[in-house]
Amino acid sequence: MWYYSKLFSVNREEIFNDPNFWISSGLLLWSCSGFLDVYRCIICTTMIKSFLTSFKVILM
**Is the distance from CB of 18 to CB of 6 less than 8 angstroms?**
yes
Give the long-range contacts of residues 9-16, CB within 8 A, separation 24 or more.
none
Residue 9 is predicted with a pLDDT of 77
Residues 6+ apart with CB under 8 A from 3: 21, 24, 25, 28
Look up the domain containing 31 and give its range: 2-59
Instruction: Tell me how many domains the chain contains.
Output: 1
Q: What's the mean pLDDT when you consider all of the chain? A: 84
- Considering only residues 2 and 26, tell me which one the structure prediction assigns the higher pLDDT: 26
**Contact between residue 32 and residue 57 where contact means Cβ atoms under 8 Å apart:** no
Tell me the pLDDT tens digit for each residue of 18-45. Answer: 888 889 999 999 999 988 888 888 888 8
Contact between 7 and 15 under an 8 Å Cβ cutoff? The reply is yes
Bigger pLDDT: 38 vs 15: 38
